[in-house]
Structure 1
């Protein structure tokens, strides 16, 4: 793998990432309260994940597809749904608009994740697979539907960007930090669609018929690629966020970022990671 100049000036941990096994078929993800199941076959690979702290000011959404930013929230309790809806939602919409220079930003909801006892506070488990929440297939239709829902009288748009604003609110160090893949190391043909379903209970046969189940969207999962260049930012505080791209209809810039939580082998006993991720769609006239 050819390293970028920033990578040559940093150190890395050797950690396990879970990639899709070649030949996997019938890719589905079922998400129920406190649990989720994927039907793909997966294999673990030990890869270098570089510490982005020494070069954190060199990352940009336009080039790498992600950056770490300071963002102080007025939320006092991220497990309080009413407070998050009332305070955090408008904060993040303003943040995304400022970061991207977008004309309009729509919320696609938020989710809590916890690396232990995920059912507490309606949290989901950490997302420990290399993935992107939205696949290119069907994204244009989804963006159009989101725009019509949130801005029915709007003038239209020429570009849509789906992003995540990811914040940890448990104390450092994080046992399961988030790894982000530099867009420049992702091959154009990387990624296989995986359909997401929200369910009350995980089906007994996840490979069986899905008639009557609510299909939410399709994400992308990835087979291992030695060219992938991975980064993480250890010891994040609640006043920092990772801001990264799920999909950008403008492919002339960084337009997607594979990502995954991973168990940091250098971190000993610590409090479980508790985080909040917020998905948005930004639109440009």
Structure 2
């Protein structure tokens, strides 16, 4: 099968500049919705003085923990109106090195070769995957033991791991100092996510934020407990200081042969002053108006260490 890639990291000359893609400038009409845009809301974290609630907090009730995990109605959430651009058919305009993500047509077994080709990695190790098949409502209704419920879509703008957490995970899984891993020692690494539907997406699509439109001042660190992993540090995202500054895109009716590839962390530029590409790409699911009665979204995501 031919491989179709959609990255958000570098952009072709025909791509609309970030400064021209604000929601206030190109939002669709309420009476005649523009098929290239979806008017909806995203959940941001709005309390700059307090870290977000942690799923490891034993003071929270089970109901409160479920709300925190999914992020749709938890404390300190700012529900912010946005317009999200549909990039179905515009895949070639987006590049992994500039925007931080891309779209690929790929089978699960091709993930390693895909990442080697598109990130330049010499070695790729897949270390985690999640399958999501439930609606948000069904995921919230489930019982759990205090860990993240990962069976349904997440309704909070976030980055999966902070740079510090990425380095800790790498040391935990890869152990470059162990005998036999000498070829990995001292090499920079990144973490990339490959996300694909198992059936055409009709509701709760995934949207991604152009990395160039997100600043360090937008990031708020938080803690989350993940099954079989433990507590990790991630980032939740504050509302933009200027309306429309964050540039979000999605793929309308994304198909199973189309995989989104996006960055969680890239150590090659970690610590470089003014360089935003070390932190991950902010993302979230969102309620696409008029799709509430569609079948639940089914998707699989694979996270991999890319060693350069």
With the length of structure 2 as denominator, give the TM-score of the two structures. 0.71
Alignment coverage as a number of residue pairs: 251
For residues 121 and 238 of structure 2, the distance between their equivalents in structure 1, rounded to whole angstroms, comes to 33
Cα deviation code 1:204-239 (max 9, x no counterpart): xxxxxxxxxx74311100111131100000111111
Cα deviation code 1:13-44 (max 9, x no counterpart): 11110110223624344399xx5734752121
Secondary structure of 1:142's aligned partner: helix
Secondary structure of 1:125's aligned partner: coil
Structure with more strand by fraction: 1
The answer for unaligned runs of 5 or more in structure 1 is 74-87, 201-213
1:124 aligns with 2:141: no
1:148 aligns with 2:175: yes
Structure 1 runs (4+) greater than 6 angstroms displaced: none
RMSD: 3.2
**Quick check: 1:195–1:215 contact (8 Å CA) kept in 2?**
no
Aligned residue for 2:298? 274
Aligned residue for 2:218? 190
Cα deviation code 1:144-200 (max 9, x no counterpart): 333317973434243211111001112342x10001000110113321111121369
User: Which of these residues, 255, 263, 271, is aligned with residue 245 of structure 1?
Assistant: 263
Aligned residue for 1:58? 93
After alignment, is 219-228 or 47-56 more displaced?
47-56
The 5 Å alignment of 1:1-285 reads 2-3=19-20, 11-23=36-48, 25-30=50-55, 37-38=68-69, 41-71=76-106, 73=107, 88=108, 90-116=109-135, 117-118=138-139, 124-148=151-175, 152-173=181-202, 175-198=203-226, 215-225=230-240, 226=243, 227-251=245-269, 252=275, 254-255=277-278, 256-267=280-291, 269-284=293-308
With the length of structure 1 as denominator, give the TM-score of the two structures. 0.76
Secondary structure of 2:268's aligned partner: coil
Cα distance change on mapping 1:253 and 1:27 into 2, 3 Å: closer
After alignment, is 148-157 or 12-21 more displaced?
148-157
For residues 135 and 244 of structure 1, the distance between their equivalents in structure 2, rounded to whole angstroms, comes to 15
Q: CA shift at 1:54, angstroms?
A: 4.0
For residues 3 and 25 of structure 1, the distance between their equivalents in structure 2, rounded to whole angstroms, comes to 33
Secondary structure of 1:143's aligned partner: helix
Secondary structure of 1:277's aligned partner: strand
Secondary structure of 1:247's aligned partner: strand
